[in-house]
Amino acid sequence: MQFRQTPYSAFNFLVELLPGQGREPRAGFSEVSGLNTEITVAEYRAGNDPVNHTSKLPGVYKTGDVTLKRGLMAADDIWQWLEQLRERDTQDFKREVTVTLLDEGRNAVATWRLRGAMPMKWTGPTLTAKGGGDVAMEELVLSVEKIEYV
């Protein structure tokens, strides 16, 4: 990868909810937030340590919830995933979701793989009769077990 002086823009990305969905997802997302991971720290001090302070050791890591937002359209992929989880008709409700950042030429420059992702909250659009210029948005919050940077 060639060195780049300027950072990439955050508005050009793809979200793949199903493996093999490819570069043309059924419905594009307008926002992805919450890509984070945190390592807990355990403090420890041996009783015979001559220095009167604790050592900090890495503990377990945890991954935050990831929020996806998109305009509501005739795509029921999210709703089917929610129904699959609510009805518990299969054990395959956890998925691998990928988020890929693209450069100006639509080339992939960074990919985050969300392992063990499953829906934990869906929020439908706010409907109001005034204005008329707003897009009906839906929001999906995913519980994620692990984020990998590819």
Tens digits of pLDDT across the chain (150 residues) = 567 888 888 889 999 987 665 555 566 889 999 999 999 999 999 999 898 889 999 999 999 999 999 998 887 888 888 888 888 766 778 889 999 999 999 999 999 999 999 999 999 998 888 877 788 999 999 999 999 998
Report d(CA 2, CA 109) in Å as an integer: 11
Q: What is the pLDDT of residues 51-68, one digit of tens each?
A: 888 999 999 999 999 999
Q: What is the pLDDT of residue 93?
A: 81
Q: What is the pLDDT of residue 61?
A: 93
Q: What is the pLDDT of residue 69?
A: 95
Report d(CA 143, CA 82) in Å as an integer: 13
Report d(CA 98, CA 78) in Å as an integer: 15
Residue 111's Cα: distance from chain center in Å?
11
Q: What is the pLDDT of residue 26?
A: 61
Sequence ranges of the domains in the chain:
13-35+65-149
How many other CB atoms are there within 10 angstroms of residue 137's CB atom? 15
CB 34 within 8 A of CB 64: yes
* pTM as predicted: 0.84
Q: What is the pLDDT of residue 133?
A: 78
Q: What is the pLDDT of residue 140?
A: 95
